[in-house]
């Protein structure tokens, strides 16, 4: 058995530990970099909704500031602009392509790895820090999301910086670092709105219990920091809402054309309430599109069953009992130590989010699970520290506890793989052999490197899934998902890679419209984005992102047609969602027979997959 003086930091000389740590961290960063950057952007341009916005944010400062979706500036995307601004800067220097759009997200993901290592290492030691960095580097949904032009990887990095700042404030007693943390979370709000606030309970609790001040001063500091947080968070929103509606784009996915309602509604309550509940709150019969098959059924087991289990949950069974073990190893001190505070922070980040993702019936997507990554990785690292302590203190139950906790996790991972026969036999055999070897060695030689071998056996599964994500030749790019399954064909393709029917219709529209006018109008962004990206022409989306918005009235549409600004309307099977406009188009416009266009008679409904399942139904010529 190794003793108190044989934990990782004390086994070797300081110089050898530093060398090992540097080499280990370098290898982990290189692995994380490879998983994020290999063939980055080669298969697609990414999410077309955001790609189109970035392209036309570069055409004018007005479109840039308001994050307009199309060159005509008729509507904005449904997110704040900071992440898109960074993508636009990248596209300005590297060109509009899949690599440039995903680059800021992938870079943020790589930078998060050493940052998390530093945060965990400070409280739980070198091995815990390296473990946390490795787990974050290979978390599958993290890889999938950071290889895409969604902005969540940038958000996670900014939030980790905010955690570093609040820790600095707690350690140094300097209030300005708490303000820096609030500033950073406010910037995160301007990347993904209320999603950034999901770590606030953890940050506030850490400062309240850890700051080196009296209770009144701590509360005062938190109040002032909250004021700064709100000021930074709402700065862009208040400026936009103060601009007259006629002088700016319609705020996409809002019900009243304001960013304030977008924050509270689509990006707030809609993420908490079921579709029917949210629709009832709005006084409508329909609500925002969401695929119920994407995230499974709400309940205790949601994160532990497919389709979510392979995304981020491989090591989740280790964390809850791991937190209990950490508490036991820490004992009951007279005052909270830095390790207690670290446990409060990371558990306060992970478990409220895990409850949200398990039980909420609101609209959220698989790639939002990236938010679990840092805290899950940190707690796995802290659990490894607790394993070390079991043997350092010669606890007679040490081997049994490690076997129990790792064995539960091992069984869960094997159950996940059982749904994928292609990988089951070989990978399961490798995992079991490594785990049995590690546990056998741990019984006779309880050393730190053997604990590392046991841990590595549990990392084979998520590493496999991350590799399959990186090497997937046809990934899901509209709503990123980890794993080997192909995404929906035709999404995220640029220019010549649009569908044959879209290309035929596009060629007709280009040949029959003037560059100064709208190329066409269609209900939603999914129908408009391929045309916008391929031509650079303005395409009116009178229903916004998924067709629910009231971007333009029938009278305004008729005026545009009468003034010669718009002639053609494309129906992708969903025009009937705007009943008044649809009725006018049916009676007042002429169906154009486009040679070579494959016409579908299927109408798109939310139940059949919504706008992402649309097909070309008809092209109408109005006026003229």
Q: What confidence tens digit (pLDDT) does each residue in 176-191 have?
A: 999 999 999 999 999 9
The pLDDT of residue 449 is: 83
**Confidence category of residue 546, pLDDT binned at 50, 70, 90:** confident
243-256 per-position pLDDT tens digit: 999 999 999 999 99
The pLDDT of residue 11 is: 53
The pLDDT of residue 610 is: 47
Lowest-pLDDT range of 141-150, 353-362, 478-487 = 478-487
- Report residue 275 as tokens: 């579709």
SS3 state of residue 539: strand
40-97 per-position pLDDT tens digit: 998 888 998 999 999 989 989 999 999 999 888 889 999 999 999 999 999 999 999 9
**What's the rounded Cα separation, in Å, for the pair 547 and 611?**
8
Q: What is the mean pLDDT of the chain?
A: 89
Read off the DSSP letter of residue 173: -
Give, rounded to a whole angstrom, the gap between the first and last alpha carbons of the chain.
89
Cα angle 346-462-300, degrees, rounded to a multiple of 5: 60
Residue 123 burial (CB < 10 Å; 0-12/13-18/19+)?
buried
The domain limits of the chain are 8-289+315-392, 495-622
The pLDDT of residue 54 is: 94
Angle between helices 579-588 and 554-562 (to 10 degrees): 30
Residue 214 burial (CB < 10 Å; 0-12/13-18/19+)?
exposed
The pLDDT of residue 460 is: 96
Q: Are 273 and 362 in contact (CB under 8 A)?
A: yes
The pLDDT of residue 153 is: 97
**What's the rounded Cα separation, in Å, for the pair 288 and 211?**
42
* Alpha-carbon dihedral sign for residues 355, 469, 95, 47: negative
The pLDDT of residue 166 is: 98
**What's the rounded Cα separation, in Å, for the pair 315 and 82?**
32
**Confidence category of residue 269, pLDDT binned at 50, 70, 90:** confident
**What's the rounded Cα separation, in Å, for the pair 107 and 41?**
13
- Helix (H) or strand (E) holding 589, with range, is strand 589-592
Residues with Cβ within 8 Å of 520's Cβ and at least 6 positions away in sequence, in order, are 509, 513, 531, 539, 540, 566, 568, 569, 570, 619
Contacts for 285-294: CB closer than 8 Å, 24+ residues apart: 286/548, 286/577, 286/606, 287/548, 288/253, 288/363, 288/546, 288/548, 289/546, 289/547, 289/548, 289/606, 289/610, 289/611, 290/363, 290/610, 291/609, 291/610, 294/365, 294/366, 294/479
**Residues 160-169: what's their mean pLDDT?**
98
Q: How far is CA 365 from CA 104, 240, 307, 481, in A?
A: 21, 27, 11, 9
Residues with Cβ within 8 Å of 300's Cβ and at least 6 positions away in sequence, in order, are 358
Angle between helices 316-330 and 373-392 (to 10 degrees): 50
The pLDDT of residue 96 is: 92
The pLDDT of residue 188 is: 98
Higher pLDDT, 99 or 600: 99
**What's the rounded Cα separation, in Å, for the pair 100 and 40?**
9
**Confidence category of residue 526, pLDDT binned at 50, 70, 90:** confident
Residue 10 burial (CB < 10 Å; 0-12/13-18/19+)?
middle
Beta bridge partners of 181: none
SS3 state of residue 242: helix
SS3 state of residue 549: coil
Q: How far does CA 208 lie from the centroid of its chain?
A: 29
The pLDDT of residue 43 is: 83
Higher pLDDT, 15 or 166: 166
**What's the rounded Cα separation, in Å, for the pair 282 and 287?**
8
Cα angle 536-539-540, degrees, rounded to a multiple of 5: 155
HSE-CB of 171 using CA atoms within 13 angstroms: 12
**What's the rounded Cα separation, in Å, for the pair 289 and 545?**
10
**Confidence category of residue 536, pLDDT binned at 50, 70, 90:** confident
The reported pTM is 0.92
**Confidence category of residue 604, pLDDT binned at 50, 70, 90:** very low
Higher pLDDT, 296 or 278: 296
């Amino acid at each position: 058995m190794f003793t108190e003086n044989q934990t990782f930091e004390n086994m070797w000389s300081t110089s050898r530990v530093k060398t090992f740590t540097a080499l280990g961290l370098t290898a982990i960063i290189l692995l994380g970099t490879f998983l994020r950057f290999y063939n980055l952007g080669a298969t697609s341009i990414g999410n077309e909704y955001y790609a189109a916005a970035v392209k036309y944010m570069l055409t004018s400062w007005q479109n840039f500031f308001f994050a307009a979706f199309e060159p005509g500036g008729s509507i904005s995307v449904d997110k704040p602009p900071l992440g898109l601004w960074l993508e636009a800067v990248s596209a300005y220097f590297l060109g509009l392509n899949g690599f440039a759009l995903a680059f800021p997200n992938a870079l943020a993901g790589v930078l998060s790895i050493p940052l998390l290592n530093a945060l965990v290492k400070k409280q739980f030691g070198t091995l815990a820090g390296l473990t946390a960095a490795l787990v974050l580097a290979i978390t599958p949904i993290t890889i999938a999301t950071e290889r895409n032009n969604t902005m969540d990887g940038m958000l996670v990095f900014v939030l980790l910086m905010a955690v570093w700042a609040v820790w600095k404030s707690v350690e140094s007693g300097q209030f300005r670092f708490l303000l820096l943390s609030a500033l950073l979370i406010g910037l995160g709000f301007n990347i993904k709105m209320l999603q950034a606030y999901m770590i606030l309970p953890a940050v506030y609790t850490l400062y309240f219990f850890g700051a080196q001040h009296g209770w009144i001063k701590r509360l005062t500091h938190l109040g002032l920091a909250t004021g700064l947080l709100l000021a930074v968070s709402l700065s862009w929103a208040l400026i936009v809402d103060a601009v007259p509606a006629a002088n700016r784009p319609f705020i996409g996915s809002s019900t009243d054309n304001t960013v304030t309602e977008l924050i509270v509604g689509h990006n707030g309550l809609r993420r908490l309430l079921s579709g029917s509940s949210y629709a009832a709150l709005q006084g409508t019969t329909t609500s925002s599109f969401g695929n119920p098959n994407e995230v499974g059924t709400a309940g205790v087991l949601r994160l532990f069953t497919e389709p979510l289990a392979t995304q981020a949950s491989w090591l989740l069974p280790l964390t809850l009992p791991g937190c209990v073990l950490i508490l036991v190893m820490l004992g009951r001190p007279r005052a909270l130590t830095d390790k207690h505070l670290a446990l409060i922070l990371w558990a306060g980040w992970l478990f409220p989010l895990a409850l949200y993702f398990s039980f909420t019936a609101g609209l959220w997507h698989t790639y939002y699970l990236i938010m679990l990554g840092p805290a899950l990785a940190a707690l796995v690292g802290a659990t490894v520290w607790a394993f070390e302590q079991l043997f350092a203190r010669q606890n007679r139950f040490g081997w049994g506890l490690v076997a129990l906790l790792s064995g539960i996790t091992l069984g869960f991972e094997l159950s996940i793989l059982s749904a994928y026969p292609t990988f089951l036999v070989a990978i399961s055999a490798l995992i079991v052999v490594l785990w049995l070897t590690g546990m056998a060695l741990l019984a006779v030689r309880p050393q730190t490197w053997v604990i590392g071998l046991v841990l590595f056996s549990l990392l084979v599964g998520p590493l496999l899934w991350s590799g399959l994500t990186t090497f997937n030749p046809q990934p899901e790019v509209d709503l990123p998902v980890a794993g080997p399954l192909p995404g929906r064909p035709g999404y995220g393709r640029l220019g010549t890679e649009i569908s044959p029917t879209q290309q035929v219709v596009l060629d007709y529209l280009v040949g029959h419209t003037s560059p100064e006018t709208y190329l066409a109008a269609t209900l939603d962004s999914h129908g408009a984005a391929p045309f916008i990206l391929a031509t650079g022409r303005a395409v009116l989306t009178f229903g916004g992102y998924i067709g629910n918005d009231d971007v333009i009235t029938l009278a305004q549409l008729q005026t545009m047609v009468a003034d010669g600004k718009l002639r053609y309307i494309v129906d992708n099977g969903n025009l009937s969602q705007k009943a008044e406009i649809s009725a006018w188009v049916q009676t007042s416009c002429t169906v154009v027979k486009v040679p070579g266009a494959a016409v579908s008679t299927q109408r798109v409904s939310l139940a059949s997959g919504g706008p992402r399942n649309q097909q070309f139904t008809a092209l109408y010529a109005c006026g003229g």
